[in-house]
Amino acid sequence: MNAVLVNAVPVTLPSGLRRIATLSVHTSPLDQPGTGDAGGMNVYVVELSRRLAALGIEVDIFTRTTSSALPAVVELEPGVTVRHVNAGPFEGLSKNDLPAQLCAFTSGVLRAEAVRELGYYDLVHSHYWLSGQVGWLASERWRVPLVHTFHTLARVKNAAMADGDDPEPTARVIGEEQVVAAATRLVASTDAEGDELVSLYDARPDQVCTIAPGVDLTRFSPGMSRAASLAAVGLPADALLLLFVGRIQPLKAPDVLLRAAAELLRRDPTLRSRLRVDVVGGPSGTGTRDPENLADLTRELGIVDVVRLIEPVSQELLAEHYRAAEVVVVPSYNESFGLVALEAQACGTPVVAARVGGLRTAVRDGVSGVLVDGHDPRDYADAIAALIAAPERRAALSAGAVQHASGFSWAATADGMLSVYADAMREHAASSASAGAR
């Protein structure tokens, strides 16, 4: 083990861990979060890789090429390299089409390693089940441990589907079961997700580790004034902004916020001069079938004048949107964690979120925000109206939000992941030695 200092705190690096192959088949760390298949997982992969590189561990991120204009290799920053792998047509493939391209992707990953010296990669960390399938084969070929993070689970999603959404296919469930069986360690974002891996996928309890995602506490932090942030996002100083951030699809339920806003205006028409609703994100998944759905809904609800549908924005501008908001609403049907909720709270903005999945950890009910049972827009309107009517409560939640978010950082995530990697390497070495002795 080697020790390095991070913020004057010693962090122990696993002995023999020099280089990690990170697999992110279906979405590139270079993609803009909030549209297509890019979301919290992209942020997770990038931020974790950056922190590992800062500790002296090289990270190669393998992802599928989606444009002929993309270079084969991109240095994200020193120590973090994105490697594009040709697997199927560059464009026109949805995530559900990618299982047929896993052989091609695996071939590209193995070829990239084959030109290196023996033992180039010391560990494989795969993200999402598609990457886990590739990681399974790569780890066996390279004789290194496989650490896997699912981010979402098919059985969990199918148990909490939104209206108009499609169930995850059986092939994905089987694929996830295979990855669970193959992985040396499984990383869950919350204890609840860890329990789901054990109860729904027969993971060994000692195989599952809980490491919470983090938030960039330098980028996402309280601003000088809400008026300044409102001006930065093009709104007047007296606006009451309700904010949704995320991919536009039934799972994320942005329609719940729009319906809740309409309910607020029905109850109190005088709010109309000040109430504003921003939806920041792009169509994704089944949401791409009807990309005008939200625009049509605003017309149906009679709230076109208060709603702005905004394309995904830079992280810097996103922070201003969070700071400008009276409340950020996260009404998802399921979230393995909920990075949007964490980012909003780090900016000092309370969150009204569904009491589901990882949101029960990301939001501290009554301290940093409000958790709502179910997805009835009237319940969300109740929670939002209560905050609008009680500025002192909102101020208390704002302070609680900053305090709660301060307990999550990417440095802490990386530190925890190093422990997982060390355990995985020890177990893999012991297993290999035992197999060699037989």
The answer to which of 8-22, 370-384, 389-403 has the lowest mean pLDDT is 8-22
Which whole number is the average pLDDT over 380-395?
97
More confident residue, 380 or 97: 380
Between residues 247 and 124, which one has the greater pLDDT? 124
Kindly list the distances between the CA atom of residue 348 and the CA atoms of 87, 398, 426, in Å, as whole numbers in the listed order.
43, 5, 41
Encode pLDDT of 89-120 as tens digits: 988 788 888 999 999 999 999 999 999 988 99
| Residue among 76, 99, 266 nearest 168 (CA) | 99
- Given a cut of 90, whether residue 382 has pLDDT beyond it is yes
Helices (H) then strands (E): counts for the chain = 15, 16
Averaged pLDDT for residues 239-256: 94
Which of these ranges, 65-69, 283-287, 288-292, 409-413, has the smallest mean pLDDT?
Answer: 283-287
Average pLDDT in the 169-190 region?
97
pLDDT band per the 50, 70, 90 thresholds, residue 436: low
Question: Which residues on neighbouring strands pair with residue 310, listed in sequence order?
Answer: 280
Can you tell me the distance from the alpha carbon of 353 to that of 328, in angstroms, rounded to the nearest whole number? 8
Neighbours of 104 (CB within 10 A): 13
* pLDDT (0 to 100) of residue 147: 98
Higher model confidence: residue 33 or residue 143?
A: 143
Q: How far apart are CA 151 and CA 252, in angstroms?
A: 15
pLDDT tier at 438, thresholds 50, 70, 90? low
Mean pLDDT of 202-219: 96
Q: What is the pLDDT of residues 250-281, one digit of tens each?
A: 999 999 999 999 999 999 999 999 999 999 99
CA 340 and chain centroid, separation? 8
Residue-averaged pLDDT of the chain:
92
Percent of the chain scoring above 70 in pLDDT: 94
Q: What is the Cα–Cα distance from 259 to 378, expressed in whole angstroms?
A: 8
In this prediction, residue 5 carries a pLDDT of 39
Tokens 């004057």 label which residue?
8
Least confident of 11-25, 77-91, 234-248: 11-25
Q: Is 230 helix (H, G, I), strand (E, B) or coil?
A: helix
Mean pLDDT of 334-342: 93
Res 288 pLDDT > 70: no
pLDDT at 137: 97
Position 6 pLDDT exceeds 50: no
The stretch 62-69 carries a mean pLDDT of 90
The continuous run of DSSP H or E covering 75 comes out as strand 73-77
CA distance 303 to 277: 9
Take residue 334 and report the two structure tokens written for it: 């399921």
